[in-house]
C-alpha cells in the first residue's frame, strides 16, 4: 500500500542549511552587496567614503536621475572605458535601475574580470529615490519624500 505524503510547508520544503553553512553564505553575500542606506550614510558622512559609486545605466536613464557624485559608465562600455574612469585601488559600488534589473550585476562582473574590487548596491536607483535620498538630474538636485514601505517613519535608521 502506498501512502500519500502529508503536505510539506513550502518554506521548509528544502531544509535550511546547517548554521555554519548559512553563516558562510551570508558572510559571502555581504562581501558582494551593499544596501542603499549604508551607501547613502557613507556618502553623507563627508570626506572620502573609500569607494566610488558607478551608475551602469544608459545616458537617458542617467539624465532622468542619478546618485550625486556617481560615475556614469554604462555596462556595455565597462571593458573599454573603466580604466580611463576608475582607479583599481578604489573599490566600486555599482547600481542600475532596481531589483528587477541585473545591469549592476553585469557591470560588477565586468569590473571584477578587469581586476576591480566591486560590490553591487541592492535596490539600485529605484530604492535610492524611494528611501528619500537626494538625486541629480540634468535640471539639478531633486528629492522625494521617503516611501513608508522602504524607509522607517521618522528615522534615518531601520535598526538593522
> Per-residue pLDDT tens for 124-142?
999 999 999 999 998 999 9
pLDDT at 98: 93
What are the structural domains of the chain? 33-142 (3.40.250.10)
Contact 82, 116 (CB under 8 A): yes
Predicted confidence at residue 159, as pLDDT, reads 66
The grid coordinates of residue 1 equal: 500500500
The Cα 144–Cα 131 span in angstroms is: 8
The CA distance from 108 to 12, in Å, is: 32
Contact of 30 with 38, CB cutoff 8 Å:
no
Among 120, 147, 121, 122, smallest CA distance to 133 is for 147
Strand (E) or helix (H) holding 120: strand 118-122
pLDDT for 35 equals 94
Grid cell of 8 as nine digits: 510539506
**Predicted model pTM:** 0.88
pLDDT value for 135: 97
Which residues of the chain register pLDDT less than 70?
1-7, 152-159
Confidence (pLDDT) at 89: 98
From residue 153, how far is each of 31, 38, 159 by CA, in Å? 29, 17, 12
Amino acid at each position: 500500500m502506498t501512502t500519500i505524503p502529508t503536505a510539506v510547508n513550502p518554506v521548509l520544503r528544502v531544509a535550511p542549511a546547517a548554521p555554519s553553512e548559512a553563516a558562510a553564505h551570508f558572510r559571502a553575500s555581504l562581501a558582494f552587496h551593499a544596501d542603499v542606506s549604508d551607501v547613502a550614510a557613507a556618502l553623507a558622512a563627508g570626506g572620502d567614503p573609500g569607494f566610488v559609486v558607478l551608475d551602469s545605466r544608459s545616458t537617458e536613464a542617467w539624465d532622468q536621475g542619478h546618485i550625486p557624485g556617481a560615475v556614469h559608465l554604462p555596462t556595455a562600455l565597462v571593458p573599454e572605458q573603466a580604466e580611463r574612469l576608475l582607479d583599481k585601488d578604489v573599490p566600486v559600488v555599482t547600481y542600475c535601475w532596481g531589483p528587477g534589473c541585473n545591469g549592476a550585476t553585469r557591470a560588477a562582473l565586468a569590473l571584477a574580470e578587469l581586476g576591480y574590487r566591486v560590490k553591487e548596491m541592492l535596490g539600485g536607483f529605484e530604492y535610492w529615490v524611494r528611501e528619500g535620498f537626494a538625486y541629480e538630474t540634468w535640471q539639478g538636485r531633486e528629492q522625494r519624500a521617503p516611501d513608508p514601505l522602504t524607509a522607517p517613519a521618522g528615522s534615518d535608521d531601520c535598526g538593522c
